[in-house]
Every structure is written in structure tokens, then in C-alpha cells.
């Protein structure tokens, strides 16, 4: 039984979603809702004005009616406020009308980001690849390559993702996102079942970035590398160490299951049942631990 992919546990691995913040602070939610409503109304007014202008001017070309900055501002506002369908529509319109604008690279990037956040990984990949084709020397190409590797990982193309991450580590060793690159190198190696290399990569990440946001997932990944290599005592030690670090509720549940699995493999059934029981409290519909327990009895 392989560990649950970290990518499945982290819906947006690079961004802190505004929704979780708003839930903890209702005034932020209210303020954001008001801004969204204003943006929506402004967009409707702009669309109506465009329609009237076209009607009055005998269908004057759209690019002559809507200034470049105004169109980009609407698209960016929609993106920042979470209206991703509207953002996609407006960024595409902007790129159709102003393909040579100085803002075009950023519009393409936000277009890719909108697709990525929506889970449309194929379209996001196309958008990122287009940026790299058109602007190979742009200052933000490293982050675009990073995003491209991410969507390829999400699509299950771990070999390609690993290749991009490794090149980024070589080409931009001082970039702010390098700790994440190291983490995803380890994840990619794990998914490719290259467990000794993955183990080394997890440990390198933990040594160089002990306070990074994925540190708990890295300890978990290290534990599963040890499991796959049959080094159960070390895996158990690592998983128990992770319990002491107060991981998230979902990861905590997976650690309980992993400890149950490790102890089961060592035929320490009493301890295995105890951890399976903890796991099933949070996951009553998962029958795997129950079937393991029945085998023990």
C-alpha cells in the first residue's frame, strides 16, 4: 500500500487561498464580498457600455473602444477576486487584441494560473509552454517552468516533472522557490518508485529547509521510503516523530494508518490494531484497516 500522494492532499500547493483566511476573519470575508460585487457590477457596466458604443459607432472595432489598460485591469481584477471564468475570458480577449503589449507575458501567465487553479491542467500546460516559446529570456521564465513541472506532476507525468525540477535546481539555485523544488524532486522520485534516491532527496530537503511549509509531508515521505525499503523500525521511528510535531488532521490520520501498516509488517499486531483504530475513527468508510484487523483476530 503506497502512501497517499501529497499532491492529492494539497489543493493549491503554491498559494494560500483567501477562503480559509476569510473563514477565520468574517470582516475580511465581508470586505472581499463587497469588492467582488463591485467588480461584477463594474464588469456588467463595462460590457453594456461597449455594446452601446458599438451600436452607436456602427460596430467600431473592439480594440478602438476598450483601452488596453482598462481591459487588462478588468481581467486582473477578476483573477484576483476569484472570478476565474471571467478572468480567462478577459485575458484571452486581451491577448487577441493586444498580442504585442508589454503586459502580454503577464496576461498569458495569469491565464495559465487561472486554468491551474481550476484544475484544467492540460490547458494550463499549454499556456505555460506558450510563454516559454514566446518569451524564453523573460525574467519570470523560471517560475513558469516551476508551474509547468507542477501541472505535469498533477497529470502523472513524473518523469517530465522531475526533469524540469532538476534543471531548475541547477539553473536557479538561489530562487525563492528552490525549497519547494527540492521537495517535489523527492515526491517525483517516490512516485517513480526510485526509493533510495527519494529517501536521499527528502533528507536533503529537510536538512536545508527544516522550517519549510512541506516539512511534515517530507517526514511522512521519508517514512514511506523506509517502508518500501523494508526498514520498518526506522519508518516507525520517523512516523512517531511526526506525531509529536502536531501535523494537520488529515496527515495525522495517514500517519496512524502508516504506523498500523508498519507494525503489521513487523507482526506487532497489538500496536497495529491500536493505530488502525485511531485511523478508522477519522475514516469510518475505509475498510482496509478493518480487514487487516480481522486477519489479526
More confident residue, 157 or 33: 157
Predicted local confidence at residue 66, as pLDDT? 73
With 70 as the cut, is the pLDDT of residue 60 above it?
Answer: no
* pLDDT tens by residue, 96-130: 999 999 999 999 999 999 999 999 999 999 999 99
Predicted local confidence at residue 198, as pLDDT? 98
* pLDDT tens by residue, 163-210: 999 999 999 999 999 999 999 999 999 999 999 999 999 999 999 999
With 50 as the cut, is the pLDDT of residue 33 above it?
Answer: yes
Q: Counting Cβ atoms within 10 Å, is residue 44 exposed (0-12), middle (13-18) or buried (19+)?
A: exposed
Neighbours of 151 (CB within 10 A): 23
Out of 24-33, 60-69, 138-147, 237-246, pick the least confident. Answer: 24-33
Amino acid at each position: 500500500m503506497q502512501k497517499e500522494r501529497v499532491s492529492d492532499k494539497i489543493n493549491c500547493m503554491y498559494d494560500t487561498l483567501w477562503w480559509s483566511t476569510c473563514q477565520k476573519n468574517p470582516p475580511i470575508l465581508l470586505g472581499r464580498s463587497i469588492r467582488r460585487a463591485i467588480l461584477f457590477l463594474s464588469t456588467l457596466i463595462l460590457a453594456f457600455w461597449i455594446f452601446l458604443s458599438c451600436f452607436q459607432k456602427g460596430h467600431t472595432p473592439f480594440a478602438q473602444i476598450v483601452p488596453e489598460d482598462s481591459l487588462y485591469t478588468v481581467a486582473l481584477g477578476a483573477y484576483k477576486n476569484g472570478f476565474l471564468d471571467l478572468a480567462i475570458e478577459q485575458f484571452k480577449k486581451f491577448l487577441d487584441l493586444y498580442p504585442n503589449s508589454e503586459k502580454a507575458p503577464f496576461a498569458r501567465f495569469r491565464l495559465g494560473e487561472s486554468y491551474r487553479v481550476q484544475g484544467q491542467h492540460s490547458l494550463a500546460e499549454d499556456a505555460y509552454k506558450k510563454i516559454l516559446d514566446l518569451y524564453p529570456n523573460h525574467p519570470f521564465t523560471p517560475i513558469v517552468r516551476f508551474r509547468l513541472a507542477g501541472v505535469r506532476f498533477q497529470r502523472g507525468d513524473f518523469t517530465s516533472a522531475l526533469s524540469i525540477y532538476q534543471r531548475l535546481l541547477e539553473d536557479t539555485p538561489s530562487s525563492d522557490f528552490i525549497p519547494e523544488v527540492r521537495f517535489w524532486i523527492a515526491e517525483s522520485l517516490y512516485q517513480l518508485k526510485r526509493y533510495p534516491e527519494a529517501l536521499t532527496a527528502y533528507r536533503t530537503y529537510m536538512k536545508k529547509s527544516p522550517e519549510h511549509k512541506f516539512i511534515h509531508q517530507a517526514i511522512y515521505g521519508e517514512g514511506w521510503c523506509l517502508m518500501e525499503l523494508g526498514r520498518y523500525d526506522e519508518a516507525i521511528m520517523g512516523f512517531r516523530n511526526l506525531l509529536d510535531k502536531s501535523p494537520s488532521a488529515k496527515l495525522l490520520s495517514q500517519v496512524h494508518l502508516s504506523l498500523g501498516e508498519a507494525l503489521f509488517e513487523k507482526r506487532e499486531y497489538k500496536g497495529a490494531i491500536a493505530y488502525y483504530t485511531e485511523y478508522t475513527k477519522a475514516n469510518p468508510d475505509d475498510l482496509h484497516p478493518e480487514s487487516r484487523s480481522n486477519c489479526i483476530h
